[in-house]
Chains A and B, each alone.
Chain A
Amino acid sequence: MSPVETAESAPEPASKIELPAHLGGGGEIPTFDVTLRVRRYDPEFSDESKWEDFRMTMYGTDRVLDALHKVKWEQDGSLSFRRSCAHGVCGSDAMRINGRNRLACKTLLKDLDTSKPILVEPIKGLPVEKDLIVDMEPFFQSFREIMPFLINRDHAPTKERLQSAEERARFDDTTKCILCAACTSSCPVFWTDGQYFGPAAIVNAHRFIFDSRDDAGDMRLEILNDKEGVWRCRTVFNCTEACPRGIQVTQAIAEVKQAILSRQV
């Protein structure tokens, strides 16, 4: 036994400040029962998708993703969904929760109406592969077409390419995109035939079009002037509402429209 520990034998308390119960934080985390109603689809067994209910007791700090984990780990291991970081940055777990596109890892159960079943479906407009997993290829196809990388024809500098704070702020909002497809798969125009580039591709084009270091803004504007480009946007605002990063998607699309107009007219 070391001499330091002799003075006090009781273990140190978790908190040295006594918190009254009404302040929260000191008390126990509340629990509640929820029903998770998941849209299941497994082409190996059936061409039809169907709803399946899972009941469980969850904590007030749990998210929809935790409920899905609980199902997969404790009730039905065949449930399939994507998730990577589980903290709202990787953009893997976009799904339709109670009819709205959200990230399962950013949606707290306590913020939903737990008296009714919580509806969890795959995002719409992309082909479902299994349960909540969709084929993202059409989404990334449009993304690749707008050339989402820096194009600069100057000689490569020996240090970083400098930019003023104002120039950086011009496209700050659209740098936040995590490519979760919540916006594109909430867009009714994309649902039609999927030919529309979709909000996510336009957001990522916006990020480079308005970047002072990039030289290919004209090429990107030309691509988005297509009949399946920005002009198919009907300013429904579904994308802005769906974006888990709070990007003003519809505004970004409108700015690209204006850029095309001021270039051509």
Chain B
Amino acid sequence: MSADSIAAPRSNSAQSPKYKRNKASHSSFEMIAWLFMRLSGVVLIVLIFGHLFVNLMVGEGIHAIDFGFVAGKWSDPFWQIWDLAMLWLAMLHGSNGVRTIINDYADRDGTRMTLKAVLYVASAVIIVLGTLVIFTFDPCPAGAVIDLPSFCTVP
């Protein structure tokens, strides 16, 4: 029914005189988050299309992608920084987007908190794990049976 298909405004707050508004936040977090979305979005366009172009269009294109190709890229500081920037910006951009969606659609405080907690943990794990991989990647693992990049000295 339309009378209560949408809950009454401000009826979910724990402190419950009718239509209680949330306390003012007095922080610029939302403004910084909004600005970050715009700026990271512009940078990501460059990073992602650069990434796609180098991986899929240059040289043999998609057929060149194998362990050696990736290992070769990640032994170059330029691509380490490129991929690191892409990882951090994309993860923060995406997580912030999902955060706003949760804020917009989850109307119970409990649901909202739970979903956001899951989101933050998941993002943190992926960012930390991805950063570790980029910097601790061993392009010449011992005893490899696959094609290694050309700079590896085969024992």
Report the separation of the CA atoms of residues A260 and B29 in the bound assembly, to the nearest whole angstrom.
13
Closest CB of chain A to B101's CB: distance in Å?
A: 9
B residues 11-65 near A (Cβ < 8 Å) are 11-12, 18-19, 21-22, 24-31, 33-35
Assess the A231–B34 pair: CB atoms within 8 A. yes
| Chain B residues in 8 Å Cβ range of A264 | 28, 31
The answer to whether B104 and A49 have CB atoms under 8 Å apart is no
Residues on B with C-beta less than 8 A from A56 are: none
Residues of A within 8 A of B26 (CB): 226
* Residues in B neighbouring A37, C-beta threshold 8 A: none
Tell me whether A227 is interfacial, beta carbon within 8 Å. Answer: yes
Given contacts A125-B6, A126-B9, A195-B10, contact A48 B30 (CB under 8 A): no
Residues of B within 8 A of A145 (CB): 21
The CA of A239 and the CA of B9, in the complex, are separated in Å by 18
A49:B10 contact, CB within 8 angstroms? no
| B78 CB within 8 Å of chain A | no
Q: Are A192 and B105 in contact (CB under 8 A)?
A: yes
Q: Is A121 an interface residue (CB 8 A)?
A: yes
Do B28 and A125 have beta carbons less than 8 Å apart? no
Q: Is the CB of B31 within 8 A of A141?
A: no
> B3 interface residue, CB < 8 Å from A?
yes
Q: How far is the CA of A193 from the CA of B18 in the complex (A)?
A: 13
Within 8 A of B (CB), among A182-214: 188-195
- Quick one: which of A138, A189, A228 contacts B22, CB cutoff 8 A? A228
What is the CA–CA distance of A41 and B9 in the complex, to the nearest angstrom?
18
- Total number of A residues with any Cβ neighbor in B under 8 Å: 41
| Residue B107 is within 8 A (CB to CB) of chain A in the complex | yes
* A137 proximity list for chain B (CB < 8 A): 18-19
Residue of B1, B9, B29, B103 near A138 (CB, 8 A) is B9
| B2 interfacial by beta-carbon distance below 8 Å | yes
A193 & B9 in contact (Cβ 8 Å cutoff):
yes
Q: Which residue of A lies closest to B30 (CB)?
A: A231
A147 within 8 A of B: no
* Interface presence of B8 (CB below 8 A): yes
Neighbour of A49 across the interface among B2, B25, B34, B35, CB < 8 A: B2
Report yes or no: B8 in contact with A127, Cβ–Cβ below 8 A.
Answer: yes
| B7 CB within 8 Å of chain A | yes
A225 — which chain B residues lie within 8 A by C-beta?
28, 30-31
Question: Across the interface, do A223 and B6 meet the contact criterion of CB distance under 8 Å?
Answer: no
Interface string of A221-257 (1 = CB under 8 A from B): 0010111110110100000000000000000000001
What B residues does A261 contact at CB under 8 A?
31, 35
| B30 and A227 contacting across the interface, CB-CB below 8 Å | yes
Inter-chain CA distance A135–B19, complex, in Å, is 11
Considering the chains assembled together, what is the distance between the CA atoms of A121 and B2 in angstroms?
A: 8
- A231-B33 contact in complex given A192-B104, A193-B9, A223-B24, C-beta closer than 8 Å: yes
Once the chains bind, are A125 and B35 in contact (CB under 8 Å)? no
Q: Are B3 and A193 in contact (CB under 8 A)?
A: no
A143 to chain B, nearest CB (A): 12
Q: Mark B114-144, 1 if CB is under 8 A from A, else 0.
A: 0000000000000000000000000000000
Chain A residue at minimal CB-CB distance from B23? A226
The complex places the Cα of A145 from the Cα of B27 at a distance, in Å, of 17
A124 to B26 alpha-carbon distance, docked (Å): 29
Residue B19 contacts which of A141, A191, A231 (CB distance < 8 angstroms)? A141
Extra pairs beyond A195-B22, A234-B100, A264-B28 (11, CB < 8 Å): A49-B3, A126-B8, A190-B9, A194-B10, A195-B21, A223-B24, A226-B26, A226-B30, A227-B29, A232-B100, A261-B31
7 cross-chain pairs, A with B, having the tightest CB-CB distances, nearest first:
A194-B9, A231-B30, A138-B9, A227-B25, A127-B8, A128-B3, A49-B3
13 sampled A-B residue pairs with Cβ under 8 A: A41-B2, A122-B2, A138-B19, A141-B21, A192-B103, A192-B105, A193-B10, A223-B24, A226-B24, A227-B29, A231-B33, A232-B100, A261-B35
